[in-house]
């Protein structure tokens, strides 16, 4: 009897001990097999892990009880599994995740300045990823942005190829470009920067339209474009090439390469990438002057992370960019021996460090960051063999800050996530253009403090309330930018959003001021009026977002509206001709302006076979008073210049077989008003441009070589209908700013992608 009791006691003790040492294991897979790095978390605690290279995971040392296991991976819908632990381990076997074709569960940062699922963000964040870059054969950021709702890339110079982003109809200076969430993209880089960021440096691009100044400070009136650079996920390497021929005449060659390396425990990793592009000049009308300039660019990027513990992470990122571009004529001669030459050489060096620390509960996160960028530019903007048209510029930017993110728990009827922090941004610009009597030495300093609360009520409402306080050295009084957004989940498939944000722009030097367009053999110079006041905006937005996965089919439709009013709006008006013959444009304060419109963005997916998405924007942009852009033309039209009332895009992909994919894409640009200055023509004219529909075709062939090597051959034609401007000015007296429509004519290309 005594022995029996002892055995029973030993059994009970061992069972109790085992009940506190239980495991949950399984394998996570996607459409192409096991998923390495899938996130495994228990909703009831901070316990979690990641899958290994075989997709396997084990959660160890758990106590008996009921749990909800959440499995997630980028690009897939997350899955929750109920698990009961009694007195033995649980083996879940294979957990298959479904592809998230519409990025509903993509983690986005830009909407709230904190990690949040796209479907839970109180303001819509659109995501531009590798799929769009690949389907459209976009090799740089500027080309890919054309395939996002309410975004349009415009071309502003037929000499050097200066381009600009218009968001919700507002020109580039109204949008804040971020790199990994930092506003380091300065005014000088903004002149050509959208073409300087290569595709292979980018993990994804998050686009948040409507006012974002409450989070990001000055110039985030139209919205923000956040370039998230690549971070290593697994050991891999690649080599990509794109060999293009512009109109079958001018070569455009691009080479991209890179590698990712991570440790087996995923606690450290590094990604390295390189990019080289060489493009010949191209002449559209046989007048010996280029419409697409000569280009040579080389860049390198690196991003590394180290996790000292499960609760901390250190990230270092850097990139260097060299770019030479030149447009005009007589490319074999020095700039000052050409009839027209616009030429720039950029050297950019950027580096940043971020430290993130969680508390043990993972409910609170502290992060601090520091980024620095230096840019040096040598330039020549001149005509008629002007030996004095050389210039040089230097732009140094520093951004540093601290942020707290905390899950504050349940009170006032819902859960709360608080984001608060401060940010210091300093930019010093020195620009020297002696021939145009332009000497700029400007320092812009901005110190901002922000706070916001995302209040989630019964999984139905997400309410964001926030504000930012900015002290800007170029604005006399501090600026307060409030923000309010509401997300209402009408049902699991339908969401309604409404929001308001106030924004501002400081009266500083903008990117278009640092480009000198040649008109009539002379330069066009932009200056700011001495008494320029800051510009303020009030932006209202609303949207309906419907997404449903129905077996083999997936359907999504987003309809959103925007309404923005501007006070003391910045306008450009002609101020005659300077003593050296240059055309002077002065930036002044106008009375106001209103920009309003609607964007429709349907999406359709069938299995992994067919995907279609397109976007169309209908808008109206008007000043309160017509802008008198010319001394010889009395303008009575209040419409914004270079802003079509309708524009849009589409992307269609068909996986015809496992090895063959066909892609169609296109960009539509409606009619717009475009100023046309005298020179090649007899007098100034405000032109109404035709509409354009640029269409592209691409075929990908991926033969199966072996399990470790992926090889893809590509071929296609961009703008195969050759929808392109046909009334360029000619000769040395041309107006180089009279350019509109698609950025390139019919272009043939061949590509290859080797992935290890």
- Predicted pLDDT at 16: 47
Q: Name the CA radius of gyration of the chain, rounded.
A: 28
The chain-wide mean pLDDT, for the chain, equals: 92
- Predicted pLDDT at 13: 46
Tens of pLDDT along 8-50?
554 444 444 455 689 999 999 988 889 888 889 888 776 788 8
* CATH number for the segment(s) 2-96: 2.60.40.10
CB 460 within 8 A of CB 488: yes
The region, left, alpha or beta by phi > 0 then psi within -120 to 50, assigned to residue 242 is beta
- Predicted pLDDT at 106: 82
For residue 523 the two structure tokens come to 């330069």
Tens of pLDDT along 520-539?
888 989 998 888 999 999 99
Measured over the CA atoms of residue 492, residue 498, residue 503 and residue 509, the dihedral's sign is positive
Tens of pLDDT along 169-194?
898 889 999 999 999 888 888 889 99
Determine the distance from the C-alpha atom of residue 519 to the mean position of all C-alpha atoms in its chain, rounded to a whole number. 32
Residues facing 589 on adjacent strands = 570
Burial level of 74, CB count in 10 A (0-12/13-18/19+)?
A: middle
Helix (H) or strand (E) holding 11: helix 2-19
Of 133, 147, 154, whose CA–CA distance to 198 is shortest? 133
Tens of pLDDT along 192-223?
999 999 999 999 999 998 776 677 888 888 99
Range with the lowest mean pLDDT among 121-125, 370-374, 706-710?
706-710
CB 470 within 8 A of CB 479: yes
- Label the pairing between strands 646-655 and 223-229: unpaired
Of 249, 253, 250, whose CA–CA distance to 240 is shortest? 253
CB 307 within 8 A of CB 319: no
DSSP string, 630-662: -SS------BPTT--SEEEEEEEEEE-SSSEEE
**Using 50, 70 and 90 to split pLDDT, how confident is the model at 727?**
very high
DSSP character for 76? Answer: B
Burial level of 418, CB count in 10 A (0-12/13-18/19+)?
A: middle
Q: What ranges do the domains of the chain cover?
A: 2-96, 107-755
Tens of pLDDT along 610-635?
999 999 999 999 999 999 999 899 99
- Which of the pair, 87 or 46, is modelled with greater confidence? 87
Spell 459-489 as b/e; 16+ CB within 10 A means b: eeebbbbbbbebebebbeeebebebbbbbeb
Instruction: Look at residue 64 and tell me whether its pLDDT is greater than 50.
Output: yes
Return the percentage of the chain with pLDDT > 90, whole number: 73
DSSP-derived 3-state class of residue 381: strand
Tens of pLDDT along 636-657?
999 999 999 999 999 999 999 9
How many CA atoms within 13 Å lie on the side-chain side of 522? 16
CATH topology of domain 107-755: Maltoporin; Chain A (2.40.170)
Q: In whole angstroms, give the CA distance from residue 569 to residue 587.
A: 10
pTM of the shown model: 0.91
């Amino acid at each position: 009897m005594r022995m029996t009791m002892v055995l029973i006691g030993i059994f009970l003790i061992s069972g109790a001990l085992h009940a506190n040492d239980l495991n949950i294991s399984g394998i996570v897979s996607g459409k192409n097999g096991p998923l390495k790095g899938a996130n495994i978390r228990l909703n009831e605690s901070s316990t979690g892990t990641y899958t290994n290279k075989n997709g396997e995971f084990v959660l160890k040392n758990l106590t008996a009880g009921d749990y909800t296991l959440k499995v997630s991976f980028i690009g897939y819908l997350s899955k929750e599994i109920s698990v009961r632990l009694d007195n033995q381990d649980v083996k879940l076997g294979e957990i298959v995740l479904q592809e998230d074709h519409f990025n509903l569960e993509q983690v986005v940062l830009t909407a709230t300045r904190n990690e949040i699922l796209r479907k839970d963000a109180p303001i819509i964040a659109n995501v531009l990823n590798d799929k769009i870059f690949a389907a459209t054969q976009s090799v740089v950021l500027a080309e890919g942005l054309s395939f996002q709702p309410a975004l349009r890339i415009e071309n502003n110079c037929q000499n050097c190829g200066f381009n600009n982003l218009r968001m919700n109809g507002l020109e580039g200076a109204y949008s804040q470009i971020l790199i990994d969430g930092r506003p380091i993209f300065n005014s000088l880089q903004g002149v050509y920067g959208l073409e300087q960021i290569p595709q292979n440096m980018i993990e994804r691009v998050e686009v948040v339209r409507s006012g974002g100044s409450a989070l990001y400070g000055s110039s985030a009136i139209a919205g923000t474009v956040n370039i998230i650079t690549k971070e290593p996920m697994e050991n891999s390497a690649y080599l990509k090439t794109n060999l293009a021929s512009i109109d079958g005449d001018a070569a455009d060659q691009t080479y991209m390469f890179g590698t990712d390396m991570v440790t087996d425990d995923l606690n450290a990793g590094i990604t390295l990438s390189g990019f080289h592009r060489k493009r010949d000049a191209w002449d559209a009308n046989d007048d010996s002057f280029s419409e697409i300039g000569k280009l040579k660019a080389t860049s390198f990027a690196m991003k590394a992370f180290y996790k000292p513990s499960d609760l901390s992470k250190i990230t270092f990122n850097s990139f260097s960019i060299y770019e030479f571009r030149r447009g005009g004529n007589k490319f074999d001669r020095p700039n000052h021996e050409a009839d027209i030459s616009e030429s720039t050489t950029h050297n950019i060096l950027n580096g940043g460090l971020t430290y993130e620390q969680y508390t043990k509960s993972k409910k609170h996160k502290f992060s601090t960051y520091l980024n620095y960028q230096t840019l040096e530019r040598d330039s020549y903007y001149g005509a008629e063999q002007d030996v004095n048209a050389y210039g040089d510029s230097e732009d140094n930017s520093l951004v540093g800050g601290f942020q707290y993110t905390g899950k504050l728990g349940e009170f006032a009827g819902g859960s709360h996530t608080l984001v608060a922090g401060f940010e210091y941004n300093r930019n010093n610009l020195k620009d020297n253009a002696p021939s145009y009597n332009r000497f700029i030495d400007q320092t812009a300093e901005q110190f901002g403090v922000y706070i916001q609360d995302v209040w989630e009520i019964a999984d139905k409402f997400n309410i964001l309330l926030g504000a930012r306080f900015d002290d800007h050295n170029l604005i006399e009084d501090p600026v307060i930018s409030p923000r309010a957004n509401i997300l209402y989940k009408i049902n699991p498939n339908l969401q309604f959003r409404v929001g308001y944000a106030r924004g501002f722009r400081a009266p500083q030097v903008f990117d278009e001021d640092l480009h000198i367009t040649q008109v009539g053999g002379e330069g066009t110079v932009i200056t700011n009026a001495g008494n320029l006041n800051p510009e303020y905006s009030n932006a209202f937005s609303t949207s309906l977002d419907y997404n449903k996965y129905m077996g083999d089919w997936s359907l999504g439709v987003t309809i959103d509206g925007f309404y923005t009013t501007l006070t003391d709006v910045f306008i450009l008006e002609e101020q005659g001709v300077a003593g050296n013959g240059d055309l002077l444009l002065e930036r002044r304060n106008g009375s106001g302006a209103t920009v309003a419109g609607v964007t429709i963005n349907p999406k359709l997916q069938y299995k992994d076979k067919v995907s279609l998405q397109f976007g169309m924007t209908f808008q109206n942009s008007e000043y309160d008073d017509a802008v008198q852009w010319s001394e010889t033309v009395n303008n009575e039209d209040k419409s914004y210049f270079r802003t079509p009332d309708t524009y849009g895009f589409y992307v269609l992909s068909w996986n015809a077989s496992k090895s063959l994919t066909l892609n169609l894409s296109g960009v539509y640009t409606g009619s717009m008003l475009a100023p046309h200055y005298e020179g090649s023509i007899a007098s100034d004219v405000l032109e109404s441009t035709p509409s354009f529909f640029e269409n592209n075709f691409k075929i990908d062939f991926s033969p199966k070589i072996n399990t470790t090597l992926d090889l893809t051959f590509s071929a296609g034609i961009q703008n195969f209908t050759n929808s392109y401007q046909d009334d360029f000015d000619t000769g040395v007296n041309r107006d180089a700013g009279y350019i509109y429509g698609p950025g390139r004519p019919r272009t043939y290309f061949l590509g290859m992608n080797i992935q290890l």
